[in-house]
Amino acid sequence: MSLLVDNPILNSPFEEPTRYWDYREGQPVLVEGRRPAGYYLRPRTRGAQVSILEEEFVPLELVNTIRERVKDWRERGYPGVTPITRQLLNHWNNPERERNLFFCQREAAETLIWLVEAPPAEKQGLDIPKDQPNDPESLAKGYKALTRYAVKMATGSGKTVVMGMVIAWQVLNKLANPQDRRFSDAVLLVCPNLTIRERLQVLLPWNRNNYYEKFDLVPRGMIERLQQGKYEITNWHLFQPKDDSRSKSVVQRGPESDAAFCRRVLKELGNKQNILVINDEAHHAYRPAQPLTPEELRQLPKEEREQLEEEFRAATVWISGLDKINDVRGINFCVDFSATPFYIKGSGYDEGAPFPWIVSDFGLVDAIECGIVKVPRVPVDDNTGALIPKYFRLWEHINRQLPVSERQTARRRAKPESVLREAEGALATLASEWKKTFAEFEKAGSPVPPVMIVVCDNTDLSKLVYEHIAGGNVLGELANREDKQVAIRIDTKLLSEAESTVEGETKKEAAERLRKTVDTVGKTEWEGEGDPPGKDVRCVVSVGMLNEGWDAPNVTQILGLRAFTSQLLCEQVVGRGLRRMNYDDFSEPEYVDVYGVPFEVIPVKKKPVSRTEVQKVSTLVRALPERKHLEITFPRVEGYVFDVRQRIKINLEDVSYLKIDPSHEPTEVVAKPAAGYRIGRPDRLGPGPEVLHDRNPFHREKRLQATVYEIAAEITRRLKEKREEWQARHLLFPQVLNIVWRYLEERVVVAEDVVLEDIALLKYKQRIIERLTEAIEPDVEAGEPPLLPVIERFRPVGSTSQVLFRTTRPTVGTTKSHISHVVLDAPTWEHSVAYRLERMPEVIAYARNDHLDFAIPYEWQGRRHEYRPDYLIRWRCEDGREVKVILEVKGFETEQDRQKEAAAKRWVRAVNHHGEFGLWVFAVCKEPSSLSETLRRSVI
């Protein structure tokens, strides 16, 4: 049946779910029963560029079978368990408890107990794969397989409590019957960073804030008994093998033996054997299969490559450490806790494939429908008229809007300034919602403010977004002051350094201060003196997702400015904002507004597997390090300005109109809760109330007069790019200011339901700046005013050193080029030119403009285009001077070709006038046979 209800919460968090939301042909349907356990995975037959929309649902048959058998076992009163276990189960299930446990917590613990204590007949037919060593070293040492049970629990559903339940069950049983090898009284907890290690201290029974007493996990009188167990909590970095072979010490013991490793790592456990291991955030603990090759790694952007290499290293160190412990001391079994126990990108397995030993699953959608976590509220409609709301798949929309030279590719990041320009509407709208939430928090007397998270694609983008927000360009409440820092940017390298520190090693103060600030966002108490350093933080800008263990409950808005290639990644990012603030009334939903994270799954009919195609032989084209001396560099020019000195003029009739219209940037966004797995586009059907987002707070702060002054100031700066001539700025600014006001009055058209204050958005502001900068001319009697190039901020210089790609097109090797091959699109023509360039003595170096990303901007029929000439050449003149030549090896015939030639000459004129990028010329060769003569004539 199809329903429209106000509340997406369907079930009690304390009972087994009995209903769930499903979407069938775009319609929300309330289904009786429990949602089957499963996951969404990209089909292998689709290639690497599959979108989230094409992921398919795969049931977790093992989990669904175990779930049914545990339910039957529960209803029959847990036959086969020990007296201690029965006492604990009765205590956890007691309806008179002061603090009830969630059903998902009880079920996770029951599942592990069933696997260990239920009669063998109950488990007949089940095959839970073990974790088998697969690398040559482990196989040579004869390491045994690990018994692992993965428990999948949504972020915010209380997995640390379940860890306490498992520890109590194991330790108390072992102390009651020391000969029973099913149980352990020595517990090793392993986690990925210091933040989580500190949080897990609550699992030590003697800790003053221990969870056994806080959540009433053991009957009265058992806490003292529990303290007799042995416990150690560490992060995986302690598993790094030691080797003093290269030290300067007199005594060199060489590589650490497995026995010595265990003595060092397991200090707190003494000589205990048959150890219980609990892996927290266990998706980092896996055996890498076949990782990416060095060549494949080189083709990735630097940050992504470094992240994958670190993940691979962490996984290898973590799992090899467990192998050593299992070999020397014996591991009873490992319990893996994670909200996403799936293989990650670069692991050698299909991204998003589950660990095969998952035995219990309570996912994020289930947690939402039980009211345990906040409900993500996503855009479902806006006033652009587009089928898919712009702010839902924001990154896809941004990349589609960018010119080809600025788009993200496999080898190149998107231009940060352009991403911010296209994303600022979403940022301003979401920040406006944050401000409304901020007012509600203040009214309610909250000791902490709401927090907005912005997740960026790379460090350049995060730096630019952070400067934009912290500089007060969005909202005054989010701006940093000298006495108060409310916006922070997480430097991932610095934070990683602090997180990976092993006790006893030196820490950098800056890294530790950042970690403490991040760890205490939203907290009113901490172990240090005074207020927690992160208590007043209102905005966090990060690269990728924030570290696991970061659980600020006051996150109310999330903006994703990056690609989301899987639902796994979406869930990890959204998970940082799902912890509730109120745990008294679970029937009352709490929300987190999410833009740019396409939090949905759309199963589609599987396509038939196509016949295997004959693979063409490919060639790796790359910059050769040994030919660094043949490198060619060039400036990246994105526009031009006149080198203005005194008076200026403009003909406004020649300047294009600017229309401010919702079709370009939505002014209203309808958001709704994301409950259930949607099928089809996000729409207004489904559970939960609609809310309308707008930019009113942003407009109130961005007064029109202030925006006009900012536009005029930027145009003046561009007109006076050379610093030594800034003394004329006071003469130019009043003239520019007057021109801006005239343009707004005469050439800006504002659509209905839009206010002129929207020109404060970078999208509109930059269009005004670019058009007026282009149109303003020096007021001179005669002569052509000199040009200056506008150089890209984050990518000012391009280079042949950045070339790396594979091709199946014909190629020919080089000797005078930094790049290994010339790709022959027109074999006879291209080969003839390359051959002649190799033989000319004046040619120092040359490069074909293929994947070199050298482009010259030009206008044609009112639209911006990019001209990509064929070759760049370093030419040595007779007098010893070096000249860089832009070579086009075909004739210009069409009107558009003539426009390209004019653009190239303009580029050369501006760059030469700039003076810092060498001397450039442009040459056109219509016949390869006359190439030498053409080049010599051009460089005179």
Please write the tens of the pLDDT for every residue from 795-846: 899 999 999 988 888 888 888 999 999 888 766 677 778 888 988 999 999 9
Question: How far is C-alpha 292 from the chain's CA centre?
Answer: 20
**More confident position, 42 or 775:** 775
Distance CA(153)–CA(172), nearest Å, equals: 24
pLDDT at residue number 726: 41
pLDDT at residue number 496: 61
Torsion sign, CA atoms 211, 213, 218, 224: positive
Q: Find, among 449, 411, 443, the residue nearest to 431 by Cα.
A: 449
Residue 501 has pLDDT above 60, yes or no: no
**More confident position, 569 or 440:** 440
Range in 366-370, 890-894, 908-912 with the lowest mean pLDDT: 890-894
pLDDT at residue number 718: 79
Residue 62 has pLDDT above 70, yes or no: yes
Amino acid at 338: S
Per-residue pLDDT averaged across 882-897, rounded? Answer: 83
CA angle, residues 78, 82, 87, in degrees to nearest 5: 75
Q: Find, among 40, 19, 16, 36, the residue nearest to 28 by Cα.
A: 19
Q: Within 13 Å, how many C-alpha atoms sit on residue 22's CB side?
A: 14
Residue 782 has pLDDT above 70, yes or no: no
pLDDT at residue number 260: 92
Distance CA(86)–CA(38), nearest Å, equals: 31
Q: What is the mean pLDDT of the chain?
A: 84
DSSP calls for 26-85 = TEEEEEES-PPPEEEE--GGG-TT--GGG-EEEE-HHHHHHHHHHHHHHHTT-TT--HHH
Residue 179 has pLDDT above 70, yes or no: yes
Q: Which two tokens stand for residue 698?
A: 């942003």
Distance CA(431)–CA(438), nearest Å, equals: 10
pLDDT at residue number 600: 59
pLDDT at residue number 5: 39
For residue 278, is it left (φ>0), alpha (ψ between -120 and 50) or beta? beta
Range in 30-44, 60-74, 160-174, 267-281 with the lowest mean pLDDT: 30-44
| pLDDT classification of 612: cutoffs 50, 70, 90 | very low
Distance CA(893)–CA(877), nearest Å, equals: 30
Can you give the three-state secondary structure of 415-460, one letter per residue?
CHHHHHHHHHHHHHHHHHHHHHHHHHHHHCCCCCCCEEEEEECCHH
In a 3-state reduction of DSSP, which class is residue 509? Answer: helix
Residue 866 has pLDDT above 70, yes or no: yes
Most confident of 255-259, 447-451, 782-786: 447-451
| pLDDT classification of 100: cutoffs 50, 70, 90 | very high
pLDDT at residue number 624: 92
pLDDT tens for 579-601 read 888 888 888 888 899 998 886 54
| pLDDT classification of 160: cutoffs 50, 70, 90 | very high
Distance CA(856)–CA(361), nearest Å, equals: 54
Instruction: Yes or no: say if 912 and 787 are a contact pair by the CB < 8 Å rule.
Output: no
Q: Within 13 Å, how many C-alpha atoms sit on residue 652's CB side?
A: 15
Per-residue pLDDT averaged across 225-240, rounded? Answer: 93
Distance CA(378)–CA(672), nearest Å, equals: 6
Instruction: Yes or no: say if 732 and 650 are a contact pair by the CB < 8 Å rule.
Output: no
Per-residue pLDDT averaged across 118-133, rounded? Answer: 91
| pLDDT classification of 46: cutoffs 50, 70, 90 | very low
Residue 200 has pLDDT above 50, yes or no: yes
Beta-strand pair 797-799/658-660: unpaired
Range in 31-40, 149-158, 528-537, 643-652 with the lowest mean pLDDT: 643-652
pLDDT at residue number 293: 67
pLDDT at residue number 917: 94
Per-residue pLDDT averaged across 320-334, rounded? Answer: 95
pLDDT at residue number 712: 93
Range in 253-257, 758-762, 827-831 with the lowest mean pLDDT: 827-831
Instruction: Report yes or no on whether pTM surpasses 0.85.
Output: no
| pLDDT classification of 51: cutoffs 50, 70, 90 | very low
| pLDDT classification of 167: cutoffs 50, 70, 90 | very high
In a 3-state reduction of DSSP, which class is residue 744? Answer: helix
pLDDT tens for 393-405 read 899 888 888 887 7
Query: Which run of H or E residues covers position 331?
Result: strand 331-338
Per-residue pLDDT averaged across 305-325, rounded? Answer: 85
Place of tokens 């006033």: 383
